[in-house]
C-alpha cells in the first residue's frame, strides 16, 4: 500500500495561539507544540483555552511524543493538560525544556520524560525522524523542525523571524534550510503571524541600540516592562545597566524565575553584581536604578500597574523617571495598557511605547522574510500555519507571488487534515478540533486544575450571567441570565427570573469596593448561580460571569450575545 501521512492541525490555524499540529503515519502520531490561547472578552470566567485532544488520544498508545519549537505559552501552555491524560515524552531545546519543567512542577506533574535536544540531533520516533533547526524568535533557543516521514520531509518553521544579527549570535540555520530545499521538501508549514507586514522584520540588536540611546541620556530611574520570556530583551537591559553603572531589580515572579532559569543554562549572561534585591535598589539614587518588570500588558497587580497607580511598596514613579514599554500590546489589552500609560504620564514620568518610539521589534517574519523561507525550501506543498484565516490567506497569496501554483497551496484550518502521499496531497475534514475552556485553578491555591471541557458543557449545560457596572461599582444594567442545556427556557421563565433576582440581591449585598474588583464580583455571581442551579436542578453547569465595566457614570446598553 502506498504510504500516507496526515498533517492534522488541532490549533493555531484559524487563530493566533493554541498551536498544535499532529503528524500521523499509520498508527503513530507525534505532536508539534501544545499551546494555549488566552481567551477573548467573549469568554469571561475562562482562564485559558486549550486544543481539543480527542483525536490525539483516541487510539491508546498512538501518540508517541511531543516536539516543542520554543517556550512561549501558545506553544507549551497546554502541555500539562495533555500530559495528565497521556504521559508521552516531550522533546525541545534546553531552554524550552527548562521552562516546561518549571511549568510541570507548578502543575504537580512529576515523572514526565523531558528530553533536551539540540539543533541537528536526529530523534527517531516510530516512523518519524525529527531534526530541530535553529531559528530566531522573540524567545531564546527557538527551533523549526524537519520531520522525515514515509512520504518525504515535512518542514515546520515554528514561530520565526530571520534575524541577521541576533543578540546571542545564534543565526537562523540558513544552510540547513537551503540543504533541505535542495534535497526536496514535501510540505512546508510556515509561520503566518506577520504576513501583513511588508519588508523585513528588524533585528533584535537594533532594539538594544535604541534602548542604549535612551539609557545614555536618562538622568532618573529607568523602568523597562517587557515579556519575561523575552530573554534577549532582558539581556540587552542587563548589559546596558552594567554599561551605565546602574543596578537592576527584577519585579514579577515570572521575571525572577525566567532570569534564574536562563542564566543557569547559559542563555543569559548576568554581569557581576548588576542584579540587586528590590529593597537594596530602592535605597539607591534614581539615576542608578533600573527596574525590569512584567506587566507590559496591563495585568492588574503587576508591579507596573501598582507603580502607575501609586500603590507600589518600594517605588514611587515621578518626574525624571523613564518608563519603557518594550513589547507589543496584545490585541484586547489596548485599553488597560492605555490607562497605565496615562497614569504614568500623570505622575510626571516620561513613557516610551511602540507607538511613540522604537522600543520593540516583532519576533515574527515579515513578507520578504516569509518569501525567502519559501524560496529556500521550495516545497512541493505549502500550508500556512499560525494565524487567523486572514493571515493564512495572506500567506497563501504570498506563496503565489513566489511561484507556487494554487494546487500546491493548502489553506486549511483546525479540524481539517492534509493527506499526503509520495505524489499528491488533499485536504479532508472531520477531525474533532476546537477550543476547550479551562476555568481557573479553584478558589485558593490547592486542588487540581479544573478542566471543564465540552463534554461537561454538553452534559451539565451553561449559564451566563451578565452585569454592567460603572467606575464606582454601581450596577448600571443587569443582571441578565442566559442558559443553554440547563433548563427549557419556555417552561421556566419564572425560575430564571428567580435566579436573576438571587444574583441581583447577592450583588446588591456587596460593598461597592468589592463590586469594583472583577474577581470578587465574578466569584460572587458564579457562586450564587451555582448554588441556585444545584439546589433546583441537581446540575452543575459551567457558569460564565460577564462583567462589563463602563468608563463613566452614565447608563450603558448591554450587548446581547
Ligand atoms: Zn512564539
Ligand atoms: Zn506563537
Could you tell me the distance, in angstroms and rounded to a whole number, from the CA of residue 72 to the centre of ligand 1?
A: 5
Q: Report the distance separating Cα 91 and Cα 132, nearest Å.
A: 10
Residue 244 has pLDDT above 80, yes or no: yes
3-state helix, strand, coil in the chain (%, to 5): 30, 25, 45
Q: Report the distance separating Cα 73 and Cα 19, nearest Å.
A: 9
Assess whether 553 carries a catalytic annotation.
no
Could you tell me the distance, in angstroms and rounded to a whole number, from the CA of residue 239 to the centre of ligand 1?
A: 24
- Ion ligand 1 nearby residues (CB, 5 A): 72, 159
Model pLDDT, residue 556: 40
Residue 118 has pLDDT above 70, yes or no: yes
Residue among 142, 119, 139, 114 nearest 130 (CA): 119
Model pLDDT, residue 185: 98
Active-site entry in 75, 156, 364, 386: 364
Could you tell me the distance, in angstroms and rounded to a whole number, from the CA of residue 281 to the centre of ligand 2?
A: 35
Q: Report the distance separating Cα 388 and Cα 185, nearest Å.
A: 25
pLDDT tens digits for 155-164?
999 999 999 9
pLDDT tens digits for 478-504?
888 877 666 554 556 777 788 888 888
Residue 42 has pLDDT above 70, yes or no: no
Model pLDDT, residue 495: 77
pLDDT tens digits for 426-469?
999 989 888 887 765 422 222 233 334 444 555 567 788 888 88
Model pLDDT, residue 125: 98
Assess whether 168 carries a catalytic annotation.
no
Residue 448, C-alpha cell as written in the block: 487540581
Model pLDDT, residue 560: 34
Active-site entry in 191, 321, 343, 453: 191
Least confident of 61-70, 222-231, 423-432, 449-458: 449-458
Instruction: Note the helical H segments in 367-433.
Output: 367-377, 389-401
> Of residues 120 and 442, which shows the higher confidence score?
120
Mean pLDDT of the chain: 89
Residue 163, C-alpha cell as written in the block: 534575524
> Of residues 526 and 82, which shows the higher confidence score?
82
Q: Which ligand is nearest to the CA of 36?
A: 2
Whether the CB-CB separation of 76 and 96 falls below 8 Å is answered with: yes
Least confident of 39-48, 103-112, 383-392, 411-420: 39-48
Whether the CB-CB separation of 418 and 379 falls below 8 Å is answered with: no
Q: Report the distance separating Cα 267 and Cα 232, nearest Å.
A: 9
Identify the band that residue 110 occupies on the pLDDT scale cut at 50, 70 and 90: confident
Q: Which ligand is nearest to the CA of 160?
A: 1
Could you tell me the distance, in angstroms and rounded to a whole number, from the CA of residue 42 to the centre of ligand 1?
A: 24
Model pLDDT, residue 438: 75
> Of residues 39 and 120, which shows the higher confidence score?
120
Q: Which ligand is nearest to the CA of 20?
A: 2
Give the mean pLDDT of 3-10. Answer: 98
Could you tell me the distance, in angstroms and rounded to a whole number, from the CA of residue 160 to the centre of ligand 1?
A: 8
Q: Which residues contact 203 (CB under 8 A, 6 or more apart)?
A: 163, 164, 165, 166, 361
Could you tell me the distance, in angstroms and rounded to a whole number, from the CA of residue 423 to the centre of ligand 1?
A: 32
Could you tell me the distance, in angstroms and rounded to a whole number, from the CA of residue 103 to the centre of ligand 2?
A: 17
Q: Which ligand is nearest to the CA of 38?
A: 2
Could you tell me the distance, in angstroms and rounded to a whole number, from the CA of residue 26 to the centre of ligand 1?
A: 30
HEC-encoded secondary structure of 130-158: EEEEECECCCCCCEEEEEEECCEEEEECC
Q: Which ligand is nearest to the CA of 70?
A: 1
Q: Which ligand is nearest to the CA of 35?
A: 2
Whether the CB-CB separation of 528 and 503 falls below 8 Å is answered with: yes
Could you tell me the distance, in angstroms and rounded to a whole number, from the CA of residue 365 to the centre of ligand 1?
A: 11
Model pLDDT, residue 41: 54
Could you tell me the distance, in angstroms and rounded to a whole number, from the CA of residue 71 to the centre of ligand 2?
A: 9
Longest C-alpha distance within the chain, in Å?
A: 75
Q: Report the distance separating Cα 203 and Cα 520, nearest Å.
A: 43
Instruction: Extract the runs of DSSP E, i.e. beta strands, from 396-461.
Output: 417-420, 425-428, 435-438
Residue 230, C-alpha cell as written in the block: 523575552
Which phi and psi (to 5°) does residue 484 adopt? -135, 125
pLDDT tens digits for 340-387?
999 999 999 999 999 999 999 999 999 999 999 999 999 999 999 999
Could you tell me the distance, in angstroms and rounded to a whole number, from the CA of residue 325 to the centre of ligand 2?
A: 20
Q: Report the distance separating Cα 126 and Cα 88, nearest Å.
A: 13
Model pLDDT, residue 233: 97
Residue 399 has pLDDT above 60, yes or no: yes
Model pLDDT, residue 406: 95
Give the mean pLDDT of 312-336. Answer: 92
Residue count of the chain? 561
Model pLDDT, residue 460: 66
Count the neighbouring beta carbons within 10 Å of the beta carbon of residue 309: 15
Residue 216 has pLDDT above 80, yes or no: yes
Model pLDDT, residue 436: 81
Model pLDDT, residue 534: 77
Residue 251 has pLDDT above 60, yes or no: yes
Residue 72 has pLDDT above 90, yes or no: yes
Model pLDDT, residue 515: 82
Amino acid at each position: 500500500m502506498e504510504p500516507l501521512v496526515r498533517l492534522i492541525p488541532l490549533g493555531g490555524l484559524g487563530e493566533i495561539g493554541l498551536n498544535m499540529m499532529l503528524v500521523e503515519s499509520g498508527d503513530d502520531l507525534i505532536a508539534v507544540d501544545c499551546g494555549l490561547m488566552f481567551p477573548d472578552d467573549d469568554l469571561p470566567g475562562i482562564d485559558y483555552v486549550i486544543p481539543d485532544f480527542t483525536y490525539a488520544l483516541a487510539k491508546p498508545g498512538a501518540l508517541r511524543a511531543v516536539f516543542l519549537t520554543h517556550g512561549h505559552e501558545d506553544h507549551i501552555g497546554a502541555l500539562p493538560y495533555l500530559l495528565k491524560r497521556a504521559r508521552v515524552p516531550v522533546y525541545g531545546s534546553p531552554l524550552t525544556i527548562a521552562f516546561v519543567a518549571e511549568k510541570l512542577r507548578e502543575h504537580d506533574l512529576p515523572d514526565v520524560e523531558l528530553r533536551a535536544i539540540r539543533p541537528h540531533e536526529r530523534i527517531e520516533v516510530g516512523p518519524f525522524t525529527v531534526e530541530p533547526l535553529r531559528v530566531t524568535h522573540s524567545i531564546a533557543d527557538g527551533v523549526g523542525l524537519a520531520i522525515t516521514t514515509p512520504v518525504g520531509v515535512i518542514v515546520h518553521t515554528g514561530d520565526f523571524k530571520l534575524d541577521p544579527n541576533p543578540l546571542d549570535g545564534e543565526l537562523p540555520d540558513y544552510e540547513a534550510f537551503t540543504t533541505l530545499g535542495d534535497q526536496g521538501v514535501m510540505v512546508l508549514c510556515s509561520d503566518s503571524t506577520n504576513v501583513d507586514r511588508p519588508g523585513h522584520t528588524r533585528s533584535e540588536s537594533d532594539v538594544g541600540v535604541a534602548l542604549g540611546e535612551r539609557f545614555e541620556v536618562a538622568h532618573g530611574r529607568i523602568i523597562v516592562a517587557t515579556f519575561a520570556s523575552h530573554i534577549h530583551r532582558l539581556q540587552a537591559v542587563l548589559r546596558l545597566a552594567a554599561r551605565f553603572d546602574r543596578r537592576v531589580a527584577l519585579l514579577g515572579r515570572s521575571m525572577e524565575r525566567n532570569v534564574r532559569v536562563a542564566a543557569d543554562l547559559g542563555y543569559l549572561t548576568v554581569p557581576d553584581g548588576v542584579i540587586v534585591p528590590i529593597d537594596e535598589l530602592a535605597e539607591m539614587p534614581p539615576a542608578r536604578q533600573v527596574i525590569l518588570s512584567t506587566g507590559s500588558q496591563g495585568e492588574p497587580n503587576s508591579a507596573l500597574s501598582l507603580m502607575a497607580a501609586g500603590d507600589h511598596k518600594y517605588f514611587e514613579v515621578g518626574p525624571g523617571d523613564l518608563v519603557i514599554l518594550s513589547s507589543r500590546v496584545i490585541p484586547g489589552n489596548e485599553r488597560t495598557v492605555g490607562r497605565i500609560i496615562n497614569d504614568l504620564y500623570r505622575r510626571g514620568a516620561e513613557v516610551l511605547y511602540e507607538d511613540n518610539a522604537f522600543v520593540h521589534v516583532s519576533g515574527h517574519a515579515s513578507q520578504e522574510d516569509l518569501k525567502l523561507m519559501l524560496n529556500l525550501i521550495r516545497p512541493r506543498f505549502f500550508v500556512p500555519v499560525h494565524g487567523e484565516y486572514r493571515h493564512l490567506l495572506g500567506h497563501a497569496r504570498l506563496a503565489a507571488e513566489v511561484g507556487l501554483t494554487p494546487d500546491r497551496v493548502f489553506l486549511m484550518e483546525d479540524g481539517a487534515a492534509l493527506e499526503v502521499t509520495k505524489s499528491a496531497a488533499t485536504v479532508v475534514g472531520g477531525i474533532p478540533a476546537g477550543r476547550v475552556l479551562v476555568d481557573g485553578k479553584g478558589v485558593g491555591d490547592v486542588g487540581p486544575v479544573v478542566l471543564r471541557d465540552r463534554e461537561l458543557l454538553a452534559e451539565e449545560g451553561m449559564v451566563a450571567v451578565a452585569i454592567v457596572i460603572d467606575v464606582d461599582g454601581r450596577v448600571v444594567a443587569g443582571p441578565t441570565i442566559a442558559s443553554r442545556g440547563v433548563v427549557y427556557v419556555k417552561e421556566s421563565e419564572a425560575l430564571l427570573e428567580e435566579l436573576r433576582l438571587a444574583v441581583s440581591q447577592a450583588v446588591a449585598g456587596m460593598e461597592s469596593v468589592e463590586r469594583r474588583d472583577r474577581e470578587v464580583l465574578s466569584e460572587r455571581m458564579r457562586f450564587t448561580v451555582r448554588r441556585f442551579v444545584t439546589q433546583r436542578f441537581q446540575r452543575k453547569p459551567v457558569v460564565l460571569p460577564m462583567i462589563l465595566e463602563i468608563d463613566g457614570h452614565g447608563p450603558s446598553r448591554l450587548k446581547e450575545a
